[in-house]
Structure 1
Amino acid sequence: MAVTPLFQLLQWVDVTSAVLFSCVFLLLVEYLWNKAPRNFPPGPPTLPFIGNIHRFSIGKFHIQLGECAEKYGNIFNIQIFGPRLVVLNGYKLVKKVYVDQGNDYADRPNVPMLRDTVGDKGVVASNGYAWKQQRRFALSTLRNFGLGKKSLESSIHLECRYLAEAISNEQGKPYDPRLLLNCAVSNVICVLVFGERFEYSDSEFQILLNTINQLVLLEGSVLGHLYNTFPRLMRIAPGPHQKIFTLWDRMVKFSHRKIAEHKVDCDPANPRDYIDCFLIEMEKWKDDKAAGFDIENLCFCTLDLFFAGTETTATTLTWGLLYMIKYPEIQAKVQAEIDQVVGSARQPSVTDRDNLPYTNAVIHEIQRMGNILPLNVVRAATKDTQIEEYSIPKGTMVAGNLTSVLFDKTEWETPDSFNPGHFLDSNGNFRKREAFMPFSAGKRVCLGEQLARMELFLFFSSLLQRFTFKPPEGVEPSLDYILGATHSPKPYKLCAVPR
């Protein structure tokens, strides 16, 4: 039977109507799903599905948030491929919310990428009762193994010597410092968690460190954000984001293997490290499953400590050496102070810190300018609450913009310049600054802060005691950066000249 033109027209109208109806329906659902609640903080207008992504460049995201604050105020909301995020700007507001209202913003949000890789396991991603128990246990265990004590300092001193030897082997030729710094810093946390350090040439160790670097870049990429908007689609869609799951699987298998090795010869009377302590603790909490003392949670707690204990401190030191070759006059002043107070016959000690105010000030300024976690780790409201005059429903994602704190024009004399004087008084003595918040604040403040401070001081002062760092001949040092899950310098090379 012949198809008449009228029948063809009706078919076309039906198909067109169905498509239009589907589009309108999806737009309506998206609008209702992501509509801003009543009395919510203001923010830029959004587009369906993509939110405000068209307004931001991923590489300049932390800077453009400051521009939003100028237009919408110190508390505003944005939508980047998913739920709305409330952004807090400036030291005073971030401190008020994170510290004074800390209990109201102590949760982690239910983010698809985090849920599909870590779930609610570990210390970083867990919430409520389990998080409190795991954080308490991690802090007490790290203290028992020397956090803030001489025993841990001697372990870091040993790693400083291994690092210096590895740098000496470069014979003053140009090299990328990131790899060796990663190895040295990671070994400190490896001793605490796994009970052993690794040779820098160990192939498995190198694979693990490279895995961490790749995860940092991939999870902070556009595809990582897209996954959080369309998790069902992105789970099956091909692309670089699929590598995230392969990388996490590699880390999990490594952790489980280390745990299995510990179970064979763990001595309850003589725990060697964090894994041993956790295995012993499991017996005490066997009737309280909600506390999270089980093998699967041990796996992710171990990875949290390993990951966090490597990435941020190593990245800070990488920025530190870059600033030293960028500002050789500052490097020379640090070396002169170390020579006068410590000399060359012994390694710098934590007890020297008070007598090295300029060195201490430079390290703090490296942390401020390095700005490793520009947006902090996102938190979520534990209940319906309020920030100033705005209503914040339970579960809302909230982030303190640490860039706006560390570069707050009302708190820092020259916020955009590398200036160790920010941390020195008129007499040249070290002074603390309230707006110095690289480790965050409040209930979710970095649990490794004390360890990181000790490592940064000992590694940095030891390196400048032994070497003078210079750019390769004819190369002007660049402060260009890569913004993934952390803010890190682009790969660069330097020369380490023995002193």
Structure 2
Amino acid sequence: MVGIPVILGALLGILHLLYYLRQLWSRRLYPPGPFAFPVVGGLWRVKFGINANHKTLIKMADQYGDIYTLWAGHIPMVFMNGVEAVKEGLTMEEFSDRLQSPFIKTLSREMGIGFSNGLIWKQQRRIGQATMRKLGVGKKSVEAQIEAEVQQLIEVFSRKKGEPFDPALATTNLVCNVICALTFGHRFPLEDGRFRELIDAIEYIFKVGGTPFHILYEVLPSVMDHLPGPHKKALQATEMVVSLAREEIQRHKEQQSTHEPQDFIDFYLLEMEKEKTKHDPTSTYDEENLAQSIHDFFIGGTETSATTMKWTFILLANRPEVQDKIVKEIENLLGDASTCYEDIRKMPFTNAVLHEIQRYRYSMLMGVGRQATKDVKIKGYTIPKGTFVMPNLRSALLDPNHWKTPDEFNPDHFLDKDGNFVPKDGFLAFGAGTRSCLGKDLARMELFLVVTHLLREFRFKPPPGVQKLDEEPSMGLTLPPKHYKMCAVPRYS
């Protein structure tokens, strides 16, 4: 006689099978993708992120099409690949919300600029854009602050006297201190302990992103909340950045400098005062949103820009002829005069090189995801409301239908036959639409001033005995180069 436990076990097995078959049936309208197993979904196809490379997600489009679904456990993620699909995903109003995954919700508290939605996002982005304009991003006032940091970088490079060194820390210091100057109204001495904590926290958050611990948190948040691991340390690092922002906000309040605003905190506190007089119950301007917005500036701007500059040194060190052509263009235009950001319009080759650096070695794995605000029909597929939508910016920047030699460093991608700079629709390094990068003008200005100032002082070279620096990226949410050393040889003795 069959025992009751066996019967119950068989019934549970049948119920589990029926539930799974129901899940498969409910997924039939999604775009195709790797077969989704129970619990793990389609993550087996990318080996849970282990040993993946920067083209893994792009290559999946060759098998499943430009729009495909990758299931992370029970969570569907619709990837969009290639220039046309990515642009559509970035500019559709139905995909305007930032994705709200479990890890991101915990990280962002659904506040600030970077990962909020609805009224919070609209108001926080509005003041962010307005303040950037008032502070002079893209203009002379901010240019002077960047140049001060570039001079610090030149001094660091000069002290190496042409010997091999790692430029990573000095580069990150520059980018982070520019954000400090715009946000806090002051820079930090490089040896300042709080500044070192800030940089370490930013780097750790990105180090954990994309790892198995991060993926497991997204799939099983209630379990991971009770387990130790790097994911917990990443959340602590986030709190460190927010805590520093709160300290600076308090300092600004004590100084009472809001009526002569000099930085982002001043402008934001002034806006809060104005909103109080209106008694608007829908206002989201408060100190917690301010602190989270500051966190978003550092997270969104430091690692990405620093990664781009690290790649810049490698790509130029491996191509001395490109360095010499940039310097020649500067000298022909300006002689001994120093460069300013406006000069980029008269320097087509330099402009093309900077764009090609950002295209060829885009700093992020794919860009930041979105979330469908309503059910959407696209190319015959149904993408239900709430689905995570991942426009793969890297795939657009490497799309063979839009770039002559997508896997090669080639400034001619941005030049016509007469040597004039030509913008390209496929250049989506800063995204597109209402969610495009808020700091893109600042990032462009930093890169231009760093390259033009440093190349007039130094020749970048691989260390003695090294024929070529490695151009294969490390894996993570950002794709920095592997650890390297280079030589910055003084151009004039």
The alignment's TM-score, normalised by the length of structure 1, stands at: 0.92
Matches within 5 A, 1:79-478: 79-99=71-91, 101=92, 103-286=93-276, 287-343=279-335, 345-475=336-466, 476-478=468-470
Q: What code does the residue aligned with 1:161 have?
A: Q
1:165-191 Cα shifts (integer Å, max 9, x gaps): 121122222111111111111111111
Q: Compared with structure 1, are the counterparts of its residues 36 and 399 closer, same or farther at alpha carbon in structure 2 (3 Å cutoff)?
A: farther
Q: Distance in 2 between matches of 1:144 and 1:250?
A: 28
- Residues 109 and 96 from structure 1, CA distance in 2 versus in 1: closer, same or farther, beyond 3 angstroms? closer
1:95 aligned partner, one-letter code? K
For each residue in 1:227-265, what CA deviation from the matched residue of structure 2 results, as whole angstroms up to 9, or x when unmatched?
A: 000001011112222211221222121111111111111
Query: d(CA) in 1 for partners of 2:232 and 2:37?
Result: 26
Show the counterpart of 1:481.
473
What is the CA distance between 1:485 and its match in structure 2? 1.6
Matched AA of 1:94: V
How big is each residue's C-alpha offset from its partner over 1:15-65, in whole Å with a ceiling of 9 and x where there is no partner?
x66666666666665665686545221112111111122111425354122
Tell me: CA distance 1:18–1:229, structure 2 relative to 1, closer, same or farther (3 Å).
farther
Cα distance in 1 between the residues matched to 2:257 and 2:83: 47
- My pick for the range that moved more, 38-47 or 138-147, is 38-47
Tell whether the 8 Å contact from 2:365 to 2:476 is kept in structure 1 after alignment.
no
Note if contact 1:91-1:435 (Cα within 8 Å) is conserved in structure 2. yes
- Partner SS, residue 236 of structure 1: coil
Mapped contact 2:366–2:395 kept (Cα < 8 A): no
Paired position in structure 2 for 1:69? 61
**1:380/1:396 contact within 8 Å kept:** yes
Q: Distance in 1 between matches of 2:112 and 2:40?
A: 31
Q: What SS is found at the alignment partner of 1:413?
A: coil
* Change in CA separation of 1:288 and 1:55 when aligned onto 2, cut-off 3 Å: same
**Is 1:42 paired with 2:32?**
yes
Q: 1:385 to 1:61 in 2, by over 3 A?
A: farther
Kept in 2, the 8 Å contact 1:406–1:438? The answer is yes
Alignment length, in residue pairs? Answer: 486
Summarize the Cα distance change of 1:42–1:171 in structure 2 as closer, same or farther, 3 Å threshold: same
Rounded to whole Å, the distance in 2 between the matches of 1:418 and 1:319 is: 12
1:22-61 aligned within 5 A: 36-57=26-47, 58=49, 59-60=51-52
The alignment partner of 1:481 has SS state of: coil
Distance 1:347 1:182 in 2: 24
1:458-484 C-alpha deviation (Å, 9 max, x unpaired): 111111111111111112311122221
The AA in structure 2 aligned to 1:299 is A
Deviates more, 1:114-123 or 1:35-44: 35-44
CA distances 1:359-402 after superposition (whole Å, capped 9, x unpaired): 11111110001111232100011111222221111111111111
Hey, what's the Cα distance between the residues in 2 that align with 1:432 and 1:271? 36
The alpha carbon displacement at 1:289 in A equals 4.9
Q: CA deviation at 1:306?
A: 2.0
Distance in 2 of aligned mates of 1:293 and 1:26: 48
The answer to whether the Cα contact below 8 Å between 1:384 and 1:392 also exists between their aligned partners in 2 is yes
Kindly provide the amino acid, as one letter, of the partner of residue 282 in structure 1: M
How far, CA to CA, are the matches of 2:10 and 2:256 in structure 1?
65
Determine if contact 1:27/1:48 at 8 Å carries over to the other structure: no
CA contact (8 A) 1:87 1:399 kept: yes
RMSD: 2.1
State the AA in 1 paired with 2:194: E
**Compared CA separation, residues 169 and 105, structure 1 to 2 (3 A):** same
Are 2:210 and 2:477, in contact at CA under 8 Å, matched by a contact in 1? yes
Structure 1 residues not aligned, in runs of 5+: 1-5
Distance 1:278 1:136 in 2: 11
Matched AA of 2:397: L
Unaligned runs of 5+ in 2: none
Measure, in 2, the Cα distance between the counterparts of 1:31 and 1:203.
56
SS at match of 1:147: coil
Greater Cα offset, 140-149 or 471-480 = 471-480
